[in-house]
Amino acid sequence: MLVLRVGISFAISIIISFIFLPILWADVDVLKGPHADDAKTINLKMSYRVSAPDKTYRARFVLLLPSTLPYRQKVISKKWIVPPTKIHKRGDSTYAEWILDRPKGEIDVGCELKIELYPFDYSGLSRDVGYKADYLKDYLMPEKYLETRSQPIMDLAKKVAPANESGGILLHSLFKGTLNNLDRFKFANEAKGAKGALKLGGGDCTDFTDVLVSLSRVRKLPARHVHGILAASFNDTPKHSWAEVYVPQNGWVRLDPFLAKLKKASFRNLKNYYITLTYDRNNGIYSKKNGISYWRYWSWGDPIAVTERLDCGFGVFKERVSSIRGE
């Protein structure tokens, strides 16, 4: 009789869940998810100073921009320093482009954004589901830096998780396997890729993400490398990489193996300070030969230099990139 009661009780609870779950979710803003009350508002300034000699007759500057993404973030407002020549999308990414004819001296471009961030991790109730197989299959394919057909990566994907594991249990094993096989290295401009990171035994946030994404794809979990900004204090740079993995019934799940290695995050819990820019590991601003780029410039005539200032309220990140001879 005890077994019968348990069975009946369980069945009743399941029925109640199916009856009331739609009611509970009816009041949830699909854009914000179930954690709208925990939203955080960030002011992000993306400023770029173009320095052009007298004989530069054209400059082109392209910038990767945050956009509104369900469950993750909402762009509330955008104010241009100088209006762009055009704005366009490639895949899930948004770009602003400036064409500067006969630029002289120093010209500032970029924008100021007000963004609302929403908690989005495995501990939450967000269910970013409903993606078609044709969309998800792109996140199972090998690509540059995500060498899913590399033997060391395939071997590790089998080693760290039994063949019968699936879903969230499988993902947890792959996550632990990433942390157990990599040490934290300092930030490096040159990407190693998943294969290179495993060979060296470590890397930065980009490398940790490459490994987790590659292991997930090998085990048939759609996964993508996310590039963005952390709205938090930083040492080297606020630019950061993390992963999103698609788990049946849960949908896309945000994971940060690098910060987990530093004990600043866990498999289930992440702080609400992630600003997503792109899901494209190899955008290179239009060139997959160049890995990831947050911005890029071209010039005709004399070469130019660009000074970046990135500020989301936790210190200013500044970097100058120059093609000018002697710099």
Indicate if 110 and 48 belong to the same structural domain.
yes
**Do the Cβ atoms of 311 and 301 come closer than 8 Å?**
no
Same domain, 217 and 154: yes
CATH of residue 174's domain is 3.10.620.30
Question: What pLDDT shows up at residue 32?
Answer: 63
48 with 108: CB under 8 angstroms? yes
pLDDT of residue 31: 61
The stretch 36-47 carries a mean pLDDT of 91
Beta bridge partners of 255: 243
Asked whether residue 171 falls in the same domain as residue 240, the answer is yes
Phi, psi of 325 (to 5 degrees): -60, 135
Q: Where are the alpha helices (DSSP H) in 117-204?
A: 133-136, 151-159, 167-181, 193-200
Residue 151 in any domain: the answer is yes
The answer to the question of residue 123 being in a domain is no
61-70, 119-128, 287-296, range with the lowest pLDDT? 287-296
Task: Tell which residue, 66, 72, 114, 74, has the closest CA to residue 92.
Answer: 66
Angle of helix 167-181 versus helix 205-218 axis, rounded to 10 = 140
Lowest-pLDDT choice from 138-147, 240-249, 286-295 = 286-295
Overall domain count for the chain: 2
Count the neighbouring beta carbons within 10 Å of the beta carbon of residue 228: 21
Tell me the average pLDDT across 8-18: 36
Which tens digit of pLDDT belongs to each residue from 264-279?
Answer: 999 999 999 999 999 9
pLDDT band of residue 291 (cuts 50, 70, 90) is: confident
Q: Are residues 239 and 305 in the same domain?
A: no
Report the percent of the chain where pLDDT is more than 90. 74
Q: What is the pLDDT of residues 82-102, one digit of tens each?
A: 999 999 998 889 999 999 999
| Residue 54 amino acid letter | D
The answer to whether residue 31 sits within a structural domain is no
Residue-wise DSSP of 265-301: --SS---S-EEEEES-TT-TTT-GGG---SEEEEEEE
Report the mean per-residue pLDDT for the chain: 88
Range of weakest confidence among 63-72, 187-196, 241-250? 187-196
Instruction: Name the token pair of 56.
Output: 């530069």
Alpha-carbon distances of 285 from 80, 142, 215, 289, 298, rounded to whole Å: 20, 20, 26, 10, 11
Q: How many CB atoms lie within 10 A of CB 157?
A: 21
**47 shares its domain with 89:** yes
Average pLDDT of 236-244? Answer: 96
Same domain, 143 and 78: no
Please name the amino acid found at residue 204: D
- The least confident of 42-46, 108-112, 293-297 is 293-297
Confidence of residue 27 (pLDDT cuts 50, 70, 90): very low
- Examine residue 279 and state whether it is found in any structural domain, yes or no: no
Residue 161, domain member (yes or no) = yes
Higher pLDDT, 321 or 6: 321
Q: Which residue has the higher pLDDT, 310 or 192?
A: 310
Measure the CA–CA gap between 212 and 78, rounded to whole angstroms: 34
pLDDT for 16 beyond 60: no
Q: How far is CA 221 from CA 105, 145, 210, 256, 304, in A?
A: 50, 17, 14, 16, 43
Record the pTM: 0.88
14: in domain: no
Verify that 232 and 169 share a domain, yes or no.
yes
99, 145: one domain: no
Write out pLDDT tens, residues 125-162: 667 888 888 999 999 999 999 999 999 999 999 999 99
Q: Which two tokens stand for residue 278?
A: 């792109």
Same domain membership, residue 158 and residue 230 = yes
Cα dist. 67→54, 87, 92 in Å? Answer: 36, 12, 9
Q: Is residue 30 part of a domain?
A: no
The whole domain housing 139 covers: 133-271
Q: Is 295 within the bounds of a domain?
A: yes
Residue 120 scores a pLDDT above 90? yes
Torsion of CA 16, 18, 24, 26, to 10 degrees: -140
The answer on 266 and 152 residing in a single domain is yes
Is 264 found in the same domain as 137? yes
Please determine, for residue 280, whether its predicted confidence score (pLDDT) is greater than 70.
Answer: yes
- Looking at residues 54-61, what average pLDDT do you find? 93
Q: Which residues contact 166 (CB under 8 A, 6 or more apart)?
A: none
Query: What does the pLDDT look like over 47-57, one tens digit per residue?
Result: 999 999 889 99
User: In this structure, are 108 and 188 located in the same domain?
Assistant: no
pLDDT of residue 184: 87
